[in-house]
Amino acid sequence: MVTQTLKPRYLLSHIPYKAIVEKYLLSVGFIIKYLMRNFMTTVRQATIDDAHILINFQLKMARETERVELDKNAVTQGVTRVFCDSSKGSYIVAEEKKTVVGCLLLTYEWSDWRNGTVWWIQSVYVDPKYRSKGVFSQMYAFLKKKVTDADDVLGVRLYVDKNNKRAQKTYKALGMNAEHYLLYEWMNCL
């Protein structure tokens, strides 16, 4: 009986090493990019030190979404008052490498029907360079965690310009719906 010793190279020669290595490297690269994109952003409660960027974001948002030039002094006073009186609301910011890249304002509504508070998301802005990178999604996840940890907070609501389809798509993808209410307003200041 003749025995033949097979060399390891022969045993594995049918496996396309190059393709496996390329797929592996692409997968690792994708994972690293995903982690950097989704976990390098930090979300935190804003402080008065963030006021200047919040003011600039609000001015930019008004220009971009409604083609309105806001009075910078009024916006400065409005943002500052939130920090001076927490009953008016609070800001949440998202940071990339210690730079604020997104923000939102939370305000509060009491629901007598449900005996709890509903948080309203307002003044959402994400720097254009950071859009479609999960910044708002991370701020929203931060808020949802705070809601589930709080005993008297029932959920979140927001309003969006009916022409802002991109934002609407984002909100729907996060599980929010627009099935229940319409918003009507009368503003004495316009």
User: In the prediction, which pLDDT does 72 show?
Assistant: 97
User: In the prediction, which pLDDT does 160 show?
Assistant: 82
Average pLDDT, rounded, for the chain: 84
Strand segments, DSSP code E, in 28-158 are 41-45, 90-96, 99-111, 116-126, 153-158
Give me the torsion for CA of 80, 143, 34, 125, rounded to 10°: -30
User: In the prediction, which pLDDT does 16 show?
Assistant: 62
Confidence band (pLDDT; 50, 70, 90) for 8? low
User: In the prediction, which pLDDT does 17 show?
Assistant: 60
Residue ranges of domains in the chain, CATH in brackets: 41-173 (3.40.630.30)
Residue 77 CA neighbour count, 13 Å, CB half: 4
Cα(146)–Cα(5) distance, rounded to whole angstroms?
Answer: 65
Please, which residues bridge with residue 42 across strands? 95
Q: How far is CA 174 from the centre of its chain?
A: 10
Burial category of 80 from C-beta neighbours within 10 Å (exposed 0-12, middle 13-18, buried 19 and up): middle
Please, which residues bridge with residue 95 across strands? 42, 100
| pLDDT average, residue stretch 176-186 | 79
> What is the rounded radius of gyration, in angstroms, for the C-alpha atoms of the chain?
25
Q: Which residue has tokens 């916006």? A: 75
| pLDDT tens-place string over residues 86-135 | 999 999 999 998 999 999 999 999 999 989 999 999 999 999 999 989 99
User: In the prediction, which pLDDT does 180 show?
Assistant: 79
Has residue 79 got a pLDDT over 60?
yes
